[in-house]
Structure 1
Amino acid sequence: MATTAAKLSVLFVCLGNICRSPTAHGVFAKLVEQAGYSDLIQVDSAGTGDWHLNHAPDRRTAQVAATKGYDLSELRARLVTSADFNQFDYIIAMDNANLEDLRAMQPQGYQGYLGLFLDFSEQSAVQEVPDPYYGGEDGFELVFGLVEDAANGLLRHMQSSHLQVLGS
């Protein structure tokens, strides 16, 4: 696990790494930057499927993010690997199917957090971030709202759980 006295790391995971996890990556990275933690928290995203490797986020994802002030243009899809368990303190799945795939990859003795993103959300009506890929434009707006809420909750959790690392 990557935690040292100076750094925490978060990996967001969805299926193709072109909709949900890059949205979470972009939103959380900006929150981290605004909080002054960019040197203390590393943020990345990956997918459990290899259909979109090296692709930019879905144009609909990028458009919704841009209207909210987030730039996802530098992000490229990559595949999650077993090595990620050695690098990331938090490996956060968007839904239960991806969480199960991650659990199957999880090495024995992993000490980090492996769970669902919406576990950090203030709302309780939705447990998983739905995949908007095959749906309409409104699905991307819904995903963005869920992601923004959970990202704020994750940052609050990290602030309260890792005060010595974050220097707060």
Structure 2
Amino acid sequence: MKLLVVCLGNICRSPLAEGALRARIDASPLAGRVQVDSAGTGDWHAGQPPDPRAIACARGHGVDISMLRARQLRQRDYADFDWLLCADGQNLRDVLREAPPSSRGKVVLLTEWAGVHEGCPVPDPYNGGSAEFEQAWRLVDSAARAVVTRLCAEWDSGIIRD
């Protein structure tokens, strides 16, 4: 199983979500069975580490995302990943706009796919401070916990096979 989290620049929300997902997956029966990556719809920050505030926020929750590097969503990501999990509605629209018809069904809003905070986007904390990064963390970590629960249930029921 391969999950790709997508936001705008891949320096705030999607690296936070990638870090939360990796941490929750690694601490679950899914360890070694699910791969997680992140990307941005734009290329402004390609090659850069996450925003220092995102790194500090994740670190405060025991998760190290400092080694991650921003990259732009690539056309081959649609084939390479089972799910493209978008941070907000604009990201969802942008990713769907570029999606081949055969991949449209696997482009979803992260929180809705996780089954938490239905219809609630992960707000972009870039223009805010630590409180906005903490809010984004709470949302992506809640989604990460729910993703683990969902995927464990799907594996247990045979919906997903190794």
TM-score (norm 2): 0.91
Residue ranges of structure 2 left out of the alignment (5+ in a row): none
Work out the number of aligned pairs and report it.
159
Q: Percent identity?
A: 36
Q: Distance between the aligned counterparts of 1:51 and 1:24, measured in 2?
A: 19
Answer with 21-30 or 115-124: which moved more. Answer: 115-124
Residues 111/101 of structure 1: CA separation in 2 closer, same or farther (3 Å cut): closer
1:74-120 superposed Cα distances (whole Å, 9 cap, x missing partner): 10000001100111001000001110011011112127521111112
| Structure 2 residue 125 is the aligned partner of structure 1 residue 161 | no
Answer with 34-43 or 50-59: which moved more. Answer: 34-43
| Structure 2 residue 36 is the aligned partner of structure 1 residue 70 | no
Partner residue, 1:3: none
| Structure 2 residue 7 is the aligned partner of structure 1 residue 17 | no
CA-atom RMSD in angstroms: 1.7
1:110-131 superposed Cα distances (whole Å, 9 cap, x missing partner): 275211111125344x610000
Partner residue, 1:93: 86
Q: Distance between the aligned counterparts of 1:157 and 1:104, measured in 2?
A: 27
Q: Distance between the aligned counterparts of 2:155 and 2:6, measured in 1?
A: 22
Answer with 155-164 or 61-70: which moved more. Answer: 155-164
1:131-163 superposed Cα distances (whole Å, 9 cap, x missing partner): 000112210010000111111111111122233
| Structure 2 residue 55 is the aligned partner of structure 1 residue 46 | no
Contact 2:29 2:152 in 1 (8 A): no
Partner residue, 1:81: 74
Secondary structure of the structure 2 residue equivalent to 1:110: helix
TM-score (norm 1): 0.88
Q: Distance between the aligned counterparts of 1:36 and 1:74, measured in 2?
A: 24
Q: Which runs of 4+ in 1 moved over 6 A?
A: none
